[in-house]
Amino acid sequence: MTSAATAAPAPSSALRNPGFRIFLLTFLLAMMADNVEHVISYWVAYQKFHSAALGGFAVVSHWLPFLVFSVPVGALNDRFDSRRLIQCGMVLFIIASAGWGYFFVTDSLQVWHAMVLLTLHGCAGVLWSTSSQMLLYDIVGPVSLASAVRLNATARYLGFLVGPSVGSIIMRTLGPTWGIFLNTVFYLPLLLWMTGAPYGRHFRGAATGPKRAVRGLADIVQTVRDVRELPVVAAMVLLAGAASFFIGNSYQAQMPGFAQDLGHGDPGLTYTLLLGADAAGALLAGILLETRGTWLRTEVASAIKLAFLWGCALFTFSFMRAYPAAIVVLFLAGFLELSFSSMTQALVQLNAPDAIRGRVLGLFSMSASGLRAFSGITVGLLGSVTNIHVSLAVSALAFVTVAGVLLFRRRAQSTAVG
């Protein structure tokens, strides 16, 4: 069975749209700031507490708000102006960075302070992420949507690449205290542009059909029922959820420990390079997919295969003891993650009904981001009981098993139809 239901139309480049170019640049700056904050705060917290459990909590608290609030935030986007919700997210990011700065200045940081700030950062992320995806569709429309999603995901990983480098430079020149205060400035361009950006349903005054009330858990249940009737969306939500549940980005929060175990020079430098390798691989994937997108079709089977290989790469990394080999494997992992994650998101965007687009994107965000809270348990807290290498290996193996089952079922269905 082929068809337009399982593959996105060949899009024109979203970069031809001037509004999208501004959106992409401001998004990149905000994503860079997000990662600069991670680099500075994770490193200071690690040096102060040396706690794998706190690293695990960093993952749980960062992503738990996505699990709880993604669908409600999506529902709010169906009813209210997405631009204002994005601005709320930027304000919370600024408060979080300023909060870290205060505790650095006073040298009064305690574990519970770090827990509160990490949770606040997670709440900012869910407001920003889900609302940005909603606005993205309005900026470029369906023809350029696959390109826009891919470029947006590339900007996200470019933020991962630039953020550690900028964060490292800032810490070495200004120190973590003034560096974290400087970081608040990087959120301002998106915050200010959203004030009058000429996009969104509310800007256009577009009719969107009957609006369901925001009903918490009942809303999530109803959205799940709606998505079950959309096979492509359901498959991508399941795949993204499995990746997030078992692995997510929890290994990144534990990267200081991996860097120290690799024992190659200054742990701060190796920490930065390891994060940079993962992001650099993703950046290359984004460039190749945007410039030579015909070599990899946007379809369900391709997404599952790429996800399977990503899990294999991280399983391999968990056993790395040679620093150069670890860099290569993480580069490959980043390439594969960008490829499959942008593909899953594009397929969801292209197949989501307009009347409930916000809720569907919220459910995808809950699955792709919210379930990462549990990866904090599998990789972080389990790592405090065993070690982070064993916990990552077990988690990656579990995901590879799930992806393998999904791929087998997909092939069996294709054979039956054929």
User: Mean pLDDT, to the nearest integer, of 1-23?
Assistant: 67
Instruction: For the chain, report the end-to-end CA distance as a whole number of angstroms.
Output: 7
CATH T-level fold of 14-198+213-417: Growth Hormone; Chain: A; (1.20.1250)
Distance CA 110, CA 127 (A): 27
Q: List, for residues 239-260, the tens digit of each pLDDT value.
A: 999 998 888 766 776 777 777 7
- Give the max Cα distance, the chain: 68
Q: Report the pLDDT value the prediction gives residue 270, as an integer from 0 to 100.
A: 65
CB within 8 Å of 115: residues ≥ 6 apart: 54, 57, 61
Among 46-60, 177-191, 215-229, the least confident range? 46-60
**DSSP3 helix / strand / coil % (the chain, rounded to 5):** 85, 0, 15
Bridge partners for 7 per DSSP: 299
**Domain residue ranges of the chain, discontinuous segments joined by +:** 14-198+213-417
Q: List, for residues 86-141, the tens digit of each pLDDT value.
A: 999 999 999 999 999 999 998 888 888 888 999 999 899 999 988 998 898 889 88
Distance CA 151, CA 289 (A): 9
Cα angle value 95/85/275 (rounded, 5°): 60
User: Mean pLDDT, to the nearest integer, of 73-90?
Assistant: 91
| Phi, psi dihedrals of residue 299, rounded to the nearest 5° | -150, 165
- For residues 340 and 108, is the Cβ–Cβ distance under 8 A? no
Q: List, for residues 347-364, the tens digit of each pLDDT value.
A: 898 888 888 888 899 999
CB atoms within 10 A of CB 53: 15
CB within 8 Å of 187: residues ≥ 6 apart: 29, 30, 33, 90, 93, 94, 97
- For residues 331 and 281, is the Cβ–Cβ distance under 8 A? yes
Distance CA 313, CA 178 (A): 37
**The pLDDT of residue 280 is above 50:** yes
Distance CA 35, CA 200 (A): 27
The DSSP H or E segment spanning 94 is helix 82-106
Which candidate, 391, 403, 282, 287, places its Cα nearest to that of 331? 282
Q: Report the pLDDT value the prediction gives residue 265, as an integer from 0 to 100.
A: 45
| Phi, psi dihedrals of residue 7, rounded to the nearest 5° | -135, 140
